[in-house]
A = this chain, B = another copy of it.
C-alpha cells in the first residue's frame, strides 16, 4: 500500500508535466516506503546509505513539487527542521506526539479528533485542504 503512493505520485508528477529523472524518482520511492515524517537531511542520508546519492537541492526541489501537488505534507514539528510525509489519496493519515525530553516522535490517529476538525473546518469560511495536530509532552520513559 505504501508503494501505491509512490506510483500514484509518479503518475501525478508526469501528468503535471514533469519529466522522469533519477533523483526525483529515488526521493519519491523512499517517501513511499515511509509511514511517518522524514526531514530533508534524513532523506538525503538514507538515499546515500542505499548507494543512491542525490543532491540536497534535488531533495528540496522534489519535496517542493510534491507539496505543490498535495502529494506530501510539510510538517514543522518544533526544532526548526521541516519534515515531510506522504499524503494518501484516501485521506487516511495520522498526527504526532512529540517528547520534549528525548525528541521522539510518535504517530497516532483518532477518528473523533478528525471529526471535530472536519466540523470546525466547515464553519470557518475557509476552504480548508490540510490540517495538522501536534501534541507535546513527555513520553513514559522521560516522565519517569
Report how many copies the assembly holds.
Answer: 2
User: How many positions in chain A have a CB within 8 Å of any CB in the partner chain?
Assistant: 38
- CA–CA, A137 and B82, complex, Å: 19
B residues within 8 A CB of A130? Answer: 135-137
Is A140 interfacial (CB-CB < 8 Å)?
A: yes
A82-B80, A116-B112, A116-B113 given; A124·B135 CB < 8 A: yes
- CA–CA, A27 and B15, complex, Å: 50
A-B contact pairs, 13 of them (CB 8 A): A76-B76, A80-B80, A97-B126, A99-B126, A113-B119, A117-B133, A125-B139, A125-B140, A127-B137, A128-B137, A131-B133, A131-B134, A132-B133
